[in-house]
Structure 1
Amino acid sequence: MLIQYLADTFLEATSQIYRDVRFMGRRLVIDGCNLLHLLYFNSGLDQNHGGEYAAFEDVIEKFVIALRDCRITPYVVLDGGTDCTDKKLETLTQRAKDRIIKAHRAAAEGSQERILPLLAKLVFRQTLDRLEVPVAQCYGEADEQIATLANEWQCPVLSNDSDFYIFELPAGLLPIDHFKWEAVEQCGSQKYIPCKSYNTSSFCIFFNIQHHLLPTFAALAGNDYVKLQRTSWAQFAPAGREKPNRLEGLLCWLRDFQQPREALEAALGLMGELSKKSKAEVLQGLSLGMAEYQIPPSSYLKMFFIHKVVPPFPAVEKTAGLVPHWMLLPLAEARLCGDILDVLQLRRMPLPTPVDHGDMPSACLTSRPIRQVMYGLLLGKAKPLQVEERDREGLELKFILVQRTYKGVIQRLDLNSLDKADPSERLQVLLEALGVPEASLNSLPPQLRLPVAVTCYWLQRAQPPPDQMMLKALLLGLTIVDTWRQRAALHPANKQRLDVNVVHAFNQWQLCLKDSIQLNQVLGYPLPEPQIARLYEGTFVHQLVHVMKTGGRLGSLLKSDRSSVKRYQTMVFIVHQFYTQETSKSSETQKTATAPQRQPLDDLTADLQQMFTLHEDEEFVTEANSAVTALEDLSLHDLVSVRTRYKTKERNNRCKIPEMSRKEECRGLDII
């Protein structure tokens, strides 16, 4: 609220507050979480169809290139876990409730509600890593460390966060909204980014308040330590205002004070009758809120960025010994998600709220068993044995106690030495959580192994079960490496009406992948982490489903791309094998006499059969046979028999109807 009011009212209307700057040739400390959201939302990327990750990667890369063209050295700092004092619990809870309503409204009405797609943060981190941009993840909130590092290096901060309007930053703040990185200019041989710089001195001069009262202003405007009784600050706004604003009134009221203490005492007097105890509590809360804007003399981030020195973990008694030492470096490098700290320290897991209709069950339910395995790894035998998940039921926010899974291989592993555990055991934990045998993945490229394993898991767990078109779209989307550039062949997804069933199904898949990646991180990457922007595009798979539903053909997407055809073949084989084995197990257990309903993979089986019958291209047939021969090593006996049976049928059909195969598109396009 504070930043919106300052930016939209005072700061935008007053040239004395901002100073025009040609920024180049310097260090720049970047508020990573703020940049992540603003780059995505300000670029007009899709928010409701599961994310435009390839386009987002492109935006991030252009941003970094612009900085480097201007000889700007970026240092990106990310938030980590939640503050262990729980001072922000009420604020975070209210934000979660608001997101549930916004996510439902986006699904029901198709409106843009600034809901970040589920894998956008991972794309942001992976892209910065690929571009070798220095990144640090704090153990808690990053604001104080960002301000301290900027103070040490005498360089500005890039952010839109309201806190940086209060910190006394020697080189000032560069608000992202005024940082024109897409319009790099040149003066002589030097390129620069035109932007505006904010400094607290200009703010205080313009509003005629003492510089050391800025933290008092922030604390009285609203802080996380104490909820003040509603004070009508608007009454102190200048006369003649059509709509007096409380923050403007607060700034005018502060002009009469020289010291923070006297301002706080006077503020207590405006709150009406308070007991002595209540006054002391309010005063303490305000003092703690003000203290957050005192910049420490040094930041551990400086030594981390320059010398890769592992940052020390905060010495807080209640969390002592809960985070093993080996985790500190991957946490600082953002190779471990900050949510891990919430599980270890607070026994709590905040869950995301994707765009989804409130009538649907929470998409997070599908991946809960994966998280339970992670909780078992993180908590071991420790008590309590449950983790509190913040999730939704309908349009209501619920705090649900979830039991951790602690059985099998996990019982032989100890968190303090997990990094030294046998790689085969760590892989076993991951694949057992997904219910997929290792041998079935060996024929896949490394980048596809985790996504395909997740797809097998999703098929068994998703509710309602995904239909054949959803599965086919997903596998085809995983097949085509550069999905973003393939979108030209289809209609833009954001012009289509949102299909809430498709949204819900792919939300479940993305959350299964997200939680599996997080479990994979804790286990020390037994499988390669898939590069999301080059693997999955939410808008693209939505388009594929739409094209299939409206009777369109997809064959042109793989035209003349035999490697993509082979990838698709291999994934279909593996998913089919998994499905038939799981179905067989289920049938033996249930011993039911009722006929099974048609499942998504029945249609994919037909695709596989066509692969061996509809081509007279001998070179393609040879390649297809080679692919099947390789897969025979995985004991896919049922599919091998399909090949033999339908190859005989193919010979007969060629003799009887030779023109049949000529009418089909060549190069394996019939399998889609």
Structure 2
Amino acid sequence: MGVQGLWSLLEEYNQIYQDIHFRDSKLLVDGTNLAHLLYNRANLDQNHGGEYLAFQAEVQAFFKTLDNCQIKSKVVIDGGSGPSDIKLNHRMDRQRTRVKKIPDALKGGEKGFYALFTTTVFEQTLNDMKVPLVRCFGEADGQLAALAREWCCPVLSRDSDFYIYDLPEGFLPLDHFQFDSVKTSGARSYISCKRYTTSSFCTLFNIDHQLLTVFAALAGNYYDNLIDVKWASFVPAGSPEVRFGDDRLVGLLSWLGARTDRRTEDTLTAAMALIDNISQQARTEMWTWAQTEVQNAMLEYRLPSSSLRSFFSEGTVPPLPAEIWSWIPEWVRVSLARGDLGANILDYDILVHRRKFLRTQLQCRVLQSSNLTSPPIRQVMYRLLLGQGGGGVR
């Protein structure tokens, strides 16, 4: 799900982070986030096909730095959206936003269009370096968090979902992970970084842990329906001005912190009461819908037993849902999980949702998309990979 604006807000409240010297530890890495951050920080070409040799060098340098600090990393990469499809609208909005930015990008004034093979080169480089990695069948966030809880190690990412997951060793935001300025203490090297924990968040904003997923749901998926509520009015008098973050989030957190009842249902009822100028019937319908959204959010943030632990220890491929298991040959599942086949070949979106989000390419907007040349080829490929059940991919 994610909470838009939460990262910016916590930069305002940076006392929430703990400064640490990170070394001699296991580390779970959000590979999708890291690949894009390394490409962006190196200031490599994003608009003319990509600079993959230079990018490969950046990836190699990063993981050599981890080795020098005795950090044993395991990398987990996204493999499409999860079965709930809860982020579909967000993904479609993000695609539309990128399309609108194409004219500026063509003039060299806009970034964010990562070269098409960024993730593929990232995976190949890690395989060459023998860095353990796995591509999930679906989104990686929940599996990363579940494994981090079982292994009692932190997660390195920049995804705002990790501000909500309750992890025993916390979350290391990538933007504060100073891997390019390694320091030494005696004969041992370390990386300066910041660690976040949900206990620090709840203490700072005085909210109960049980309301953390309610906050994520109200601020994330359901926030548009409460947009007219004057959340800023709930910010205590004398609070510091929010310069770059969202003062509506501060108000929502302040409102949740002032509540003494921890029950989710009562919190939702109170939130609905803040909406003006709607009928009782509309309010009831909105409450029912909000309850469903919050329940979905709580399921998203509820950590299952990790299916990745046995992959890293024994090479066992993470399971697929039983209804699609028989479609996928063993060699395909193994190759996908190991990163030998990129997500452009096969991912959870194709397996379950029968669609594929293609990368936005920089081209003249008045012309038809160049992706329109490939559907017949891709459909044949999907049918070959999926067997007779593989038709109908969009």
Q: TM-score, normalised by structure 2?
A: 0.89
> Using the alignment, how far apart are the partners of 1:3 and 1:87 within structure 2?
13
Q: Secondary structure at the match of 2:46?
A: coil
Number of the residue aligned with 2:63: 64
Number of the residue aligned with 1:312: 319
Shift of 1:28: 0.2
Q: Does 1:20 align with 2:13?
A: no
Q: Secondary structure at the match of 1:348?
A: coil
Number of the residue aligned with 1:374: 381
Instruction: Choose the corresponding residue for 2:354, options 331, 347, 361.
Output: 347
The 1:351/1:174 distance shift into structure 2, 3 A limit, reads same
The 1:44/1:242 distance shift into structure 2, 3 A limit, reads closer
> Using the alignment, how far apart are the partners of 2:158 and 2:228 within structure 1?
27
The 1:200/1:242 distance shift into structure 2, 3 A limit, reads closer
Number of the residue aligned with 2:256: 254
Number of the residue aligned with 2:96: 97
Number of the residue aligned with 1:86: 85
Q: Secondary structure at the match of 1:209?
A: coil
> Using the alignment, how far apart are the partners of 2:201 and 2:388 within structure 1?
54
* Conservation of the 8 A alpha-carbon contact between 1:207 and 1:251: yes
Number of the residue aligned with 1:270: 274
Q: Does 1:151 align with 2:149?
A: yes
> Using the alignment, how far apart are the partners of 1:203 and 1:122 within structure 2?
36
Shift of 1:242: 7.9
The 1:2/1:153 distance shift into structure 2, 3 A limit, reads closer
Shift of 1:280: 1.9
> Using the alignment, how far apart are the partners of 2:57 and 2:255 within structure 1?
47
> Using the alignment, how far apart are the partners of 2:272 and 2:326 within structure 1?
41
1:614-643 Cα deviation digits (max 9, x unpaired): xxxxxxxxxxxxxxxxxxxxxxxxxxxxxx
* Conservation of the 8 A alpha-carbon contact between 1:154 and 1:170: yes
> Using the alignment, how far apart are the partners of 2:284 and 2:376 within structure 1?
50
* Conservation of the 8 A alpha-carbon contact between 2:27 and 2:71: yes
Shift of 1:363: 2.2
Q: Does 1:230 align with 2:227?
A: yes
* Conservation of the 8 A alpha-carbon contact between 1:218 and 1:290: no
Number of the residue aligned with 2:76: 77
> Using the alignment, how far apart are the partners of 1:360 and 1:72 within structure 2?
49
> Using the alignment, how far apart are the partners of 2:389 and 2:302 within structure 1?
37
* Conservation of the 8 A alpha-carbon contact between 1:179 and 1:194: yes
1:375-407 Cα deviation digits (max 9, x unpaired): 331354448x4331xxxxxxxxxxxxxxxxxxx
* Conservation of the 8 A alpha-carbon contact between 1:103 and 1:113: no
> Using the alignment, how far apart are the partners of 1:275 and 1:161 within structure 2?
33
What letter is aligned with 1:8? Answer: S
Q: Secondary structure at the match of 1:300?
A: coil
> Using the alignment, how far apart are the partners of 2:329 and 2:43 within structure 1?
41
> Using the alignment, how far apart are the partners of 2:232 and 2:221 within structure 1?
18
* Conservation of the 8 A alpha-carbon contact between 1:157 and 1:174: yes
Higher relative contact order (CA 8 A, sep 6+): 2
1:590-621 Cα deviation digits (max 9, x unpaired): xxxxxxxxxxxxxxxxxxxxxxxxxxxxxxxx
Number of the residue aligned with 2:370: 363
Shift of 1:92: 1.4
Number of the residue aligned with 1:219: 217
1:482-505 Cα deviation digits (max 9, x unpaired): xxxxxxxxxxxxxxxxxxxxxxxx
Number of the residue aligned with 1:635: none
* Conservation of the 8 A alpha-carbon contact between 1:204 and 1:210: yes
Q: Does 1:386 align with 2:392?
A: yes
What letter is aligned with 1:121? Answer: T
> Using the alignment, how far apart are the partners of 2:70 and 2:242 within structure 1?
47
More displaced, 45-54 or 274-283?
A: 274-283
1:450-493 Cα deviation digits (max 9, x unpaired): xxxxxxxxxxxxxxxxxxxxxxxxxxxxxxxxxxxxxxxxxxxx
Number of the residue aligned with 2:158: 160
> Using the alignment, how far apart are the partners of 2:254 and 2:321 within structure 1?
39
1:494-540 Cα deviation digits (max 9, x unpaired): xxxxxxxxxxxxxxxxxxxxxxxxxxxxxxxxxxxxxxxxxxxxxxx
What letter is aligned with 2:257? Answer: R
* Conservation of the 8 A alpha-carbon contact between 1:231 and 1:270: no
Matches within 5 A, 1:131-142: 131-142=129-140
The 1:3/1:380 distance shift into structure 2, 3 A limit, reads closer
> Using the alignment, how far apart are the partners of 2:221 and 2:6 within structure 1?
17
Shift of 1:295: 1.9
Shift of 1:249: 0.6
Q: Whose radius of gyration is greater, 1 or 2? A: 1
The 1:381/1:27 distance shift into structure 2, 3 A limit, reads closer
The 1:228/1:327 distance shift into structure 2, 3 A limit, reads farther
> Using the alignment, how far apart are the partners of 2:387 and 2:299 within structure 1?
37
Number of the residue aligned with 1:334: 339
Q: Secondary structure at the match of 2:393?
A: strand
The 1:379/1:186 distance shift into structure 2, 3 A limit, reads closer
* Conservation of the 8 A alpha-carbon contact between 1:16 and 1:202: no
Q: Secondary structure at the match of 2:180?
A: helix
> Using the alignment, how far apart are the partners of 1:41 and 1:171 within structure 2?
28
What letter is aligned with 1:387? Answer: V
Instruction: Choose the corresponding residue for 1:122, options 108, 120, 127.
Output: 120
> Using the alignment, how far apart are the partners of 1:85 and 1:302 within structure 2?
23
What letter is aligned with 1:50? Answer: G
> Using the alignment, how far apart are the partners of 1:374 and 1:58 within structure 2?
32
* Conservation of the 8 A alpha-carbon contact between 1:139 and 1:338: no
Shift of 1:211: 2.2
Matches within 5 A, 1:460-539: none
1:290-334 Cα deviation digits (max 9, x unpaired): 2322222x211111001111222134x5x4644344432222212
Q: Secondary structure at the match of 2:44?
A: coil
More displaced, 159-168 or 369-378?
A: 369-378
Number of the residue aligned with 1:551: none
> Using the alignment, how far apart are the partners of 1:46 and 1:380 within structure 2?
39
The runs of 5 or more residues in structure 2 that have no matched partner are none
What letter is aligned with 2:256? Answer: L
> Using the alignment, how far apart are the partners of 1:85 and 1:154 within structure 2?
27
> Using the alignment, how far apart are the partners of 2:358 and 2:16 within structure 1?
39
> Using the alignment, how far apart are the partners of 1:12 and 1:30 within structure 2?
21
The runs of 5 or more residues in structure 1 that have no matched partner are 389-672
Q: TM-score, normalised by structure 1?
A: 0.54
Number of the residue aligned with 1:186: 184
Q: Does 1:53 align with 2:56?
A: no
Instruction: Choose the corresponding residue for 1:280, options 275, 280, 288.
Output: 288
* Conservation of the 8 A alpha-carbon contact between 2:207 and 2:257: yes
What letter is aligned with 1:259? Answer: R
Shift of 1:47: 1.2
> Using the alignment, how far apart are the partners of 2:314 and 2:386 within structure 1?
32
Number of aligned residue pairs: give it. Answer: 381
Q: Secondary structure at the match of 1:50?
A: coil
What letter is aligned with 1:80? Answer: G
1:105-130 Cα deviation digits (max 9, x unpaired): 201x2113211111111111111111
Q: Does 1:294 align with 2:298?
A: no
Shift of 1:30: 0.5
Cα RMSD, aligned residues only = 2.4
> Using the alignment, how far apart are the partners of 1:260 and 1:286 within structure 2?
12
